[in-house]
């Protein structure tokens, strides 16, 4: 008998743009595997229908028992055409990447980590929720800087997978009980913000404020989330099995 624990769910992406409120703009299917030794793997398929070009992203991302990134595979299709695939591996001192895409050819990277960091921003919404475990809620309501490596600085992750680094603010806002199609959950609420303008996407825009409601347990599952600014999008957990 398998000894791991599996959680799976679906997140619906909808629009909050004027005239398009509530329209479906994408979806995400995710699975978390929790192993008996404390390691875990996130598998996610993310589809963004709007705005064009469409994005299809496949991610397999593993963390160790201390929530430190181990390795990650990312494959991207943009506008229904292959954009790139990359494998990332973390050692004590470096982030390594082997990537290929039509616009970049084959690229090998090895980047020094250079001190403490918080995670790997893989772009699935389920992964955004899980990284909130890095904030110390015992300090109460507060905001801290979150240092992460990423495979893309594009806010939709729609560029060939290469090692990049981002710094964004993460704030613990408080606790709320939230009801979504998947059920009612006690949640911790967090807010990502780029007030310093350090997370500039390829389109030249800083990341808009991003609020997330995450289950108040060790699984840290996304329940709902919303991004303002130019993005105007909403995310909601519509199916969950655990």
pLDDT band at 197 (very low <50, low <70, confident <90, very high): low
Taking 70 as the threshold, does the pLDDT of residue 200 lie above it?
no
Rg (alpha carbons) of the chain, rounded to whole number? 17
Sequence ranges of the domains in the chain: 5-241
What is the chain's length?
242
Is residue 158 over pLDDT 60? yes
Region 179-183 average pLDDT? 98
Average pLDDT, the chain: 93
The residues pairing with 8 across neighbouring beta strands, listed in sequence order, are 31, 241
pLDDT digits (tens, 9 = 90+) for 61-75: 999 999 999 999 999
Give the pair of three-digit tokens for residue 60: 């397999």
With pLDDT > 70 as the criterion, what percentage of the chain qualifies? 95
Among the residue ranges 121-135, 160-174, 186-200, 209-223, the one predicted with the least confidence is: 186-200
pTM: 0.93
> What architecture is the 5-241 domain classified under in CATH?
Beta Barrel (2.40)
For residue range 7-16, what is the model confidence (pLDDT) as tens digits?
A: 999 999 999 8
Q: Which residue has the higher pLDDT, 43 or 228?
A: 43
Say whether 125 sits in a helix, a strand or coil: helix
- The 8-class DSSP code of residue 14 comes to E
Handedness of CA 186, 126, 132, 61 (dihedral sign): positive
Lowest mean pLDDT among 31-35, 80-84, 153-157: 153-157
Confidence band of 196 (pLDDT split at 50, 70, 90): low
Average pLDDT estimate for 126-154: 95
The pLDDT score that the predictor gives to residue 164 is 95
CB-count burial class (<10 Å; 0-12, 13-18, 19+) for 103: exposed
171-190: average pLDDT: 98
Run of H or E including 234: strand 233-241
Q: What is the pLDDT of residue 153?
A: 87
């Amino acid at each position: 008998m398998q000894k791991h624990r599996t959680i799976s769910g679906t997140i619906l992406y909808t629009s909050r743009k004027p005239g398009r409120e509530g329209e479906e703009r994408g979806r995400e299917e995710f699975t978390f595997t929790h192993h008996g030794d404390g390691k875990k793997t996130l598998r996610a398929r993310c589809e963004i229908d709007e705005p064009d070009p469409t994005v299809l992203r496949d991610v397999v991302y593993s963390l160790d028992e201390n929530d430190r990134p181990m390795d990650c595979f990312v494959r991207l299709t943009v506008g229904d055409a292959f954009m790139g695939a990359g494998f990332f591996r973390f050692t004590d001192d470096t982030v390594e990447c082997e990537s290929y895409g039509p616009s970049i050819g084959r690229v090998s990277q090895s980047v020094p980590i250079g001190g403490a960091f918080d995670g790997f921003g893989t772009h699935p919404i389920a992964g955004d929720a899980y990284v909130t475990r890095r904030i110390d809620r015992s300090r109460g309501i507060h905001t801290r800087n979150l240092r992460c490596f990423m495979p893309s600085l594009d806010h939709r992750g729609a560029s060939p997978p290469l090692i990049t680094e981002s710094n964004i603010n993460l704030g613990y806002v408080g606790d709320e009980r939230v009801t979504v199609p998947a059920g009612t959950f006690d949640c911790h609420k967090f807010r990502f913000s780029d007030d310093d303008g350090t997370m500039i996407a390829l389109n030249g825009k800083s990341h808009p404020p991003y609020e997330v409601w995450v289950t108040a347990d060790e699984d840290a599952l996304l329940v709902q989330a919303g991004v303002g600014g130019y993005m105007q999008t909403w995310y909601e957990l519509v199916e969950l099995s655990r």
